[in-house]
């Protein structure tokens, strides 16, 4: 039986793949995005993030809303007050949309949050868990936490079910940001100074994240829960670079430089946060996700990277 679903951010990295797959699986999908273009599924265009009035009619027919739209983490933010801008989109729009959904009888609201709600780094012996005390450190993470807290309150007040998913770094065809920068360096065959880095970081391939989102659309055990997600295999920065090079059919040229020197260099260059991400650990424990939803990441890291570069034509 066809489900009636609304996917926000439907022209984005995650939303487009999600909506396309749901449509091909026989669901009735309405995408919501700033500019529709050729998406392959019906879409409502919202030129302004705040113009949610245009969604009243679509929401009146929807059973589930999957909210992927967000102002994403910006490495070099130029705005004078980034927290207020993140809050405007990631918190205020989310809660306005959720209230509207609840008022129109939507049964479940699936929110794509971020592991940054948990924090920026983990020790080698203690990965993040969904019930940890949140400890966001940047405006993006703070705005996502405040959205989560507002959604949980709306769930209590209205009875609409809320599902929260916190992914770490997501990679896949068309990925941007730090992962794309790393791909370019490997593609150029430049020697990279990360051969001695033995950290551990959780990642999630686009296919695995989309699979979990689809599972959360109607799984009874997902209602009003928070889930962490990953590929189930954590990698060091050096290990990831080797896997990326292998998937691209390129040699990995890694030089062993002590982590303390790399972090010092990053700090001197004003890239302290980038250095911490490359050198530090960030792991998530997905055991509760596996157990509660009887879910296993369907795609391995090797296969996820292969698909990524195969699609991009590398």
Give catalytic residues, as residue numbers: 140
CA atoms within 13 A on the CB side of 142: 10
- And the tokens for 242? 């080797």
Secondary structure of 102-143 in HEC code, one letter for each residue: HHCCCCEEEEECCHHHCCCCCECCECECCCCCCCCCCHHHHH
List of residues 6+ apart from 193 with CB closer than 8 A: 254, 255, 256, 257, 262
CA–centroid distance for 206 within its chain: 9
Let me know how many helices (H) and strands (E) the chain has, helices first: 12, 9
Residues 6 and 58: beta-carbon distance below 8 Å: yes
- And the tokens for 79? 């705005």
- The H or E element that residue 4 is part of is strand 4-8
Residues 208 and 229: beta-carbon distance below 8 Å: yes
CA dihedral 97, 289, 205, 233 (to 10 degrees): 150
Label residue 8 left, alpha or beta by phi (over 0 means left) and psi (-120 to 50 means alpha).
beta
Separation of alpha carbons 172 and 183, rounded Å: 11
Q: In DSSP terms, which residues pair with 204 in a beta bridge?
A: 170
């Amino acid at each position: 039986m066809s489900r009636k679903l609304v996917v926000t951010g439907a022209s984005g990295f995650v939303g487009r793949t999600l909506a396309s797959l749901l449509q091909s699986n026989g669901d009735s999908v309405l995408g919501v995005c700033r500019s529709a273009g050729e998406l392959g599924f019906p879409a409502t265009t919202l030129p302004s993030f705040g113009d949610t009035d245009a969604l009243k009619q679509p929401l009146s027919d929807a059973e589930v809303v999957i909210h992927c739209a967000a102002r994403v983490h910006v490495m070099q933010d130029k705005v004078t007050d980034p927290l207020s801008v993140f809050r405007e989109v990631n918190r205020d729009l989310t809660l306005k949309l959720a209230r509207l959904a609840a008022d129109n009888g939507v049964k479940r609201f699936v929110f794509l949050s971020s592991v940054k709600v948990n924090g920026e780094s983990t020790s080698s012996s203690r990965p993040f868990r969904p019930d940890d005390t949140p400890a966001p450190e940047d405006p993006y993470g703070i705005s996502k936490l405040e959205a989560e807290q507002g959604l949980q309150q709306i769930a209590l007040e209205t009875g609409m079910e809320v599902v929260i998913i916190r992914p770490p770094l997501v990679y896949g065809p068309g990925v941007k940001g730090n992962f794309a920068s790393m791909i370019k360096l490997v593609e150029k065959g430049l020697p990279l100074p990360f051969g001695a880095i033995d950290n551990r970081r959780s990642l999630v391939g686009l296919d695995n994240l989309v699979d979990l989102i689809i599972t959360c659309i109607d799984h009874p055990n997902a209602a009003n829960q928070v889930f962490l997600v990953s590929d189930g295999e954590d990698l060091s920065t050096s290990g990831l670079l080797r896997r990326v090079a292998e998937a691209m059919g390129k040699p990995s040229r890694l030089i062993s430089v002590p982590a303390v020197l790399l972090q010092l260099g990053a700090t001197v260059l004003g890239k302290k946060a980038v250095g911490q991400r490359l050198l530090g650990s960030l792991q998530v424990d997905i055991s509760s996700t596996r157990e509660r939803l009887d879910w296993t990441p369907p795609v391995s890291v090797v296969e996820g990277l292969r698909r990524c570069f195969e699609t991009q034509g590398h």
